[in-house]
Amino acid sequence: MKKWTAGLLGGVLLIAGATPAAAESDAQYEVWMADQGTDTIHIYNEDHEEIDTIDFDDVGENPHMLLFDDDYEYAYAANMGSGTVSVIHGESREVVGTIETDEGAHAAVPNPNGETVLVANTPGESLSQISLDHENGEYEVAQELDLTEVDSLQNEDEFPDHRPICLDFNADGSKAYVTIGGGGLVVVDTEELEVIEQFDKNDVHPHGCGTLLSPDGSEMYANSGSVDDGYFYVFDTETDEMIHKADAGGLDTHGKNFTTDGKYLYTVHRVSDSLTVIDTETKEIVAEQEFVGDAPDLAVTSPDNKYFYVTLRGPEPATGTHDMAGDSPGISVIDVETLEIAHTIDFTGIDGTDPHGIDIRVIDAGSTTYDNYQFEGDELPDTAAGVPFSIWIALAAAGIGGALLFGKPKTARS
């Protein structure tokens, strides 16, 4: 078996190497993608063929984030334009409920306890907790938290705003980790719906997202990004201590997901159009792909670990804090082992399109797992063509070295 190697080719840090072909996957699943520009949910099978759509025109405006529960039975769409959350039965595609929360419902994340959904209302600067009664089809906002009224968040130098962006839960759902738009992260007790720990903008930089619980439940990952930088953060879920903070290796760090074995975290960067692979044990970047599509946003891994699905933003983004437009909207299907684009679902030419939220409905995880990759060493070399990697990042951020490091120049997005 060949190993991954990180090498310099034509001034660009690339990934080389391949592995023997694995047995044909027997996994069955669906990829659900929310096009917030056309108010449509697109559904694809494991062969990347569109098999269904759900029209949201009369349901909710700008379905932004889309996430399934742990049983893959119900999906929750946060409709940012209408300030609502829609509950979708996965198998029947039926929208069984739509609940008004607050202005700009950005992310609706189902609690692993199966009883509630926590919603980050970004411009509303609040959290809404929805109670679930699927048997009777009853859904309602049971608790609300106005983040502008939290005593520990009143210092404007530490918390310029109180806009919640992304969130995820610890393993038992008793705590939620929520990023704040102007910078910062709060830990919320989900039973009392109160802030129990906070990190300010100096700890977690502005435009934070990327909250994701490690497969073993011991760590919470988060990230942040701008046109100039990208960082990732790791928190101990028992103590809530930040145990790691580092450069994420790209510009405007955003979407991410673990490989199914939990060994690696794949992360995409919207401005540099790139992907980095982080070793979850060493917390080092061990591999990188310079281009995975224009303006890559959110991402999800297939249950057989074969593909990494990435949404690509449209030329006229329906939502966003800074210019994150892309010229080639759609979905990039990345081969997990080679990091190459294996397939593209192209939305170019669709009026108003803006692909964003994405998740997978697993029907049968199958028995085959594509996990024959291995990276060369624990970290990337300290230098590339004699220049430290950190300086390549700085040059790219300044608009000087971007073409060399990331493959093509980018217009600043702010």
- Indicate whether 3 pLDDT > 80: no
Rg (CA), the chain: 20
pLDDT of the residue at 375? 67
Percent of the chain with pLDDT over 90: 79
pLDDT of the residue at 322? 52
Cα 104 to Cα 320: distance, rounded to the nearest angstrom: 11
The residue type at 50: E
Q: Indicate whether 177 belongs to any domain.
A: yes
pLDDT tens digits, residue range 71-114?
999 999 999 999 999 999 999 999 999 999 999 999 999 999 99
Q: Indicate whether 22 belongs to any domain.
A: no
DSSP string, 58-104: TT-SSEEEEEE-TTSSEEEEEETTTTEEEEEETTT--EEEEEE-STT
Cα 245 to Cα 232: distance, rounded to the nearest angstrom: 6
Alpha carbon 130 to its chain centroid, in Å, reads 22
pLDDT tens digits, residue range 344-377?
999 999 999 999 999 999 999 998 888 877 765 4
Angle at 229 between CA 330 and CA 328, to 5 degrees: 15
Q: Indicate whether 105 belongs to any domain.
A: yes
Q: Indicate whether 10 belongs to any domain.
A: no
What is the total count of domains within the chain? 1
Q: Is the dihedral of CA 294, 303, 80, 165 positive or negative?
A: negative
C-alpha dihedral (358, 362, 365, 369), degrees to nearest 10: 0
Cα 181 to Cα 123: distance, rounded to the nearest angstrom: 10
Q: Indicate whether 165 belongs to any domain.
A: yes
pTM above 0.95, yes or no: no
The CATH number of residue 202's host domain is 2.130.10.10
pLDDT tens digits, residue range 294-310?
999 999 999 999 999 99
| Domain ranges, residue 344 | 34-404
Q: Indicate whether 25 belongs to any domain.
A: no
Place of tokens 């502008």: 148
Cβ(184)–Cβ(204) under 8 Å?
A: yes
Which 3 state secondary structure label does DSSP give 401?
A: coil
E strand map for 270-340 = 274-279, 285-289, 296-301, 307-312, 330-335
- Indicate whether 125 pLDDT > 50: yes
pLDDT of the residue at 371? 80
Q: Indicate whether 370 belongs to any domain.
A: yes
Place of tokens 């993608």: 33
- Indicate whether 395 pLDDT > 80: no
Higher pLDDT, 380 or 181: 181
Q: Indicate whether 207 belongs to any domain.
A: yes
Cα 151 to Cα 78: distance, rounded to the nearest angstrom: 28
